[in-house]
Chains A and B, each alone.
Chain A
Amino acid sequence: MAVDSVAVEASGLCRRYGRRWALVDVSLRVPLATVVMVTGRNGSGKSTLLRVLATAIRADRGGARVLGYDCRTQRDAVRRSVALLGHYSYLYEALTPLDNLAIAARFLWPRGGGPSPRALLEEVGLADRADDPVSTFSAGMRKRLSLARTLLQDAPVVLLDEPYGQLDPPGFRLVDGLLGRLKQSGRTVLMATHLLERGSAICDQAVVLEQGRLVWSGPAAQVPEASSAALPAGAPR
């Protein structure tokens, strides 16, 4: 249950890969029903942040809560509240889109129910390829299917890691439309993207990561100026 109106909060998140710290002391609070853009250069820690929030990986230091549930100790509750569109497609290459969605649906809704896989495939424009194995798909089509899988989860908090990646212009419009609908239905969305123009048009707030640290946060419309002013780590503020 949401204790207050905060959807996601993180405090002092740190995560290392070997000797390199991918996230350094990241703290943030995301109110309910906000769409947040997470941006920064390659390797700045955007994906790592989303993965920690989704409990795909653990934080080495610090903690996070989603809808009031602790990411470390109430992992299953967090997972039920979050849908992650990640770097990897989470798809079975040998199976068809319908198979992939049906498998997820059986774990999500053991007693049936939930959004219809066919309807979702229609929505993302894959209805005519519903019975072809994913291994025959292009990267863009895989992305669309992953989007459908994310929507299938019908989660209150949606984390999108580069949703526009590998998509063509119609695909861009598709994601824009989906984001609009998520926003309208009151979901909380964190979207990691490089596309500042597009992002700041759709998102309410934005945060900028630089070498694992959160260096700027504020209204999304003001990001383009701020990220050019984002200082490299090591420079005095």
Chain B
Amino acid sequence: MSPVVAAIRKDLLLQWRTRAQVLAIFVFGASALLLFSFAIGPDAEALRLHAAGFLWLALLLSSTLTLAESFQSEMEQRAFEGLLLLPASPRALYYGKAIANWLQLTLVGAGLVPFMVVLYDAGTTRLLGLAGILVLGAAGLSAPGTLYAAMTAQARARQTLLPLLLFPLVVPVLLSAVKATSLLILGDPMGQLRPWTLLLACFDLIHWALCGLLFDRVVED
């Protein structure tokens, strides 16, 4: 069994056993969507126009919870160090954790979509396209997010540091995902979906490679 597969199994098992947390994170995201709608007011036009933005903001905020939690169980009894000492490759452990976070973020995002549809009157028939954007966007949040979660889990003031470090970096994800989702909801007469999707994919490729490469400097002395 390859170490990456072993790591993925471990992280999926951990997520499954603590699945109540995912529910809590989803509720957090949903309440964020609700609060955003209050900020706009009961203006159906405006709500529909900005629905995509709020969906991704809610997911971004939820991601800080997901990412921080993902290293909680690793650090409380230093289980992560225990694995490193077996030895287990830091890179494998990174990809396992990043993939598990990716899955969780995609699920939370998928759960928030019906909420968005109802609250913001922002539905779309292009469900496959929406799923694709969700998957790509979640991947973009997960790659750097997992690296920084590992870092800040070992530092002081971790609650503030993670969003501080992550948010500027994922601006391209936010822009592309919001734009693409908006096009799916409001219509795409000029066929702009593709370049945004490509930008997202580009971001994902670069960061999944780069963060995996750099991860062992983050967790090893």
B77 contacts A93, C-beta separation under 8 Å:
yes
Q: For residue B115, give the distance in angstroms from its CB to the closest CB of chain A.
A: 28
In the assembled complex, the Cα of A155 lies from the Cα of B78 at a distance in Å of 20
Take A90-B79, A108-B86 as given contacts and tell me if A103 and B221 are in contact as well, using a CB distance cutoff of 8 Å: no
Take A104-B83, A108-B86, A133-B17 as given contacts and tell me if A93 and B73 are in contact as well, using a CB distance cutoff of 8 Å: yes
Please encode chain B, from 68 to 86, with 1 for each CB lying within 8 Å of some chain A CB and 0 for all others. 0000010011110111111
Take A88-B81, A94-B17 as given contacts and tell me if A110 and B87 are in contact as well, using a CB distance cutoff of 8 Å: no
B81 contacts A92, C-beta separation under 8 Å:
no
Q: Which of A57, A79, A90, A93 neighbours the largest number of chain B CB atoms within 10 Å of its CB?
A: A90
- Contact residues in B for A54 (Cβ distance below 8 Å): 85
- Contact residues in B for A106 (Cβ distance below 8 Å): 1, 6, 9-10
Tell me how many residues of B have a C-beta within 8 Å of chain A: 24
Instruction: Identify whether the interface residues of B are mostly helix, strand, loop, or mixed.
Output: helix
Which residue from B6, B18, B221 sits with its C-beta under 8 Å from A107? B6
Asked if A41 lies at the interface with its beta carbon under 8 angstroms from chain B, I say no
B79 contacts A91, C-beta separation under 8 Å:
yes
Asked if A205 lies at the interface with its beta carbon under 8 angstroms from chain B, I say no
Q: For residue A221, give the distance in angstroms from its CB to the closest CB of chain B.
A: 32
A110 contacts B86, C-beta separation under 8 Å:
no
In the assembled complex, the Cα of A93 lies from the Cα of B3 at a distance in Å of 22
Asked if B14 lies at the interface with its beta carbon under 8 angstroms from chain A, I say yes
Asked if A67 lies at the interface with its beta carbon under 8 angstroms from chain B, I say no
Contact size range, A: 20 to 34
List CB contacts (< 8 Å) of A108-141 with chain B.
Answer: 108, 110-111, 133
In the assembled complex, the Cα of A3 lies from the Cα of B2 at a distance in Å of 31
* A-B contact number at CB 8 A: 75
Asked if A48 lies at the interface with its beta carbon under 8 angstroms from chain B, I say no
In the assembled complex, the Cα of A93 lies from the Cα of B72 at a distance in Å of 10
Which residue on A lies nearest to B7, using beta carbons?
Answer: A107
A107 contacts B88, C-beta separation under 8 Å:
yes
Q: For residue B215, give the distance in angstroms from its CB to the closest CB of chain A.
A: 15
In the assembled complex, the Cα of A56 lies from the Cα of B87 at a distance in Å of 11
B77 contacts A56, C-beta separation under 8 Å:
no
B78 contacts A88, C-beta separation under 8 Å:
yes
List CB contacts (< 8 Å) of B65-123 with chain A.
Answer: 73, 76-79, 81-88
A153 contacts B14, C-beta separation under 8 Å:
no
- Some 30 contacts from A to B, beta carbons below 8 A apart, are A56-B85, A57-B221, A79-B84, A82-B85, A86-B78, A88-B78, A89-B77, A89-B78, A90-B77, A90-B79, A90-B81, A90-B83, A91-B82, A92-B79, A94-B14, A94-B17, A94-B18, A95-B13, A95-B17, A99-B13, A103-B9, A103-B13, A104-B83, A104-B86, A106-B9, A107-B6, A107-B83, A108-B86, A110-B6, A149-B82
* In the A-B complex, the 10 residue pairs with the closest CB atoms: A90-B82, A79-B87, A88-B78, A106-B6, A107-B88, A58-B221, A94-B17, A89-B77, A107-B86, A103-B10
Sample of 8 further A-B pairs with CB below 8 A, known A79-B87, A90-B81, A91-B79: A88-B78, A90-B85, A92-B14, A92-B73, A92-B77, A103-B6, A103-B83, A110-B6
